[in-house]
Amino acid sequence: MRKNSNDMLAVFTAVPLACTMTAVFTGSLMPAAAAGLLIFVLTACLPFCRGRENLWILLMTAPSTIPLNFMVLLKYPAWTDFLPEMGSGGLNYLLYMPGLMLIMSGVELLFTGMAGRILWPRQLRLYIPEAEETEEEVAGE
């Protein structure tokens, strides 16, 4: 069976995640910076991203930031100065780390989304069939 060329190109969307995983294992932030640039380069070059650049930036950035944020929170513990004193340091890490990772990921997604909008101001409208079905059901009731 012959595969669609877009299916073969979709493999490239995992490259930024591989770069951030390399950054985590080497302890260097250079591969992570390369991943950030690579997200925008891949979005500009891949044909199935045309018109929906912001969506693809979101889809490539979201999984790529998780291992990097985890590494940053463990390797650079300056953020622990802002934790309230609750006794055990391990409990503080366990309670606050997921929240801090979500905040960091959210900020990164906002900045990459704004950069994507600046680079590609005209984009196609996203079609979500489930949303239209629920609007019709609400209007019919």
- C-alpha–C-alpha distance, residues 140 and 14, integer Å: 43
pLDDT digits (tens, 9 = 90+) for 48-68: 888 888 888 998 899 998 888
Task: With beta carbons less than 8 A apart as the criterion, state whether 60 and 44 touch.
Answer: no
pLDDT digits (tens, 9 = 90+) for 37-46: 999 998 888 8
- C-alpha–C-alpha distance, residues 17 and 58, integer Å: 13
How sure is the predictor about 133, in pLDDT bands with cuts at 50, 70 and 90? low
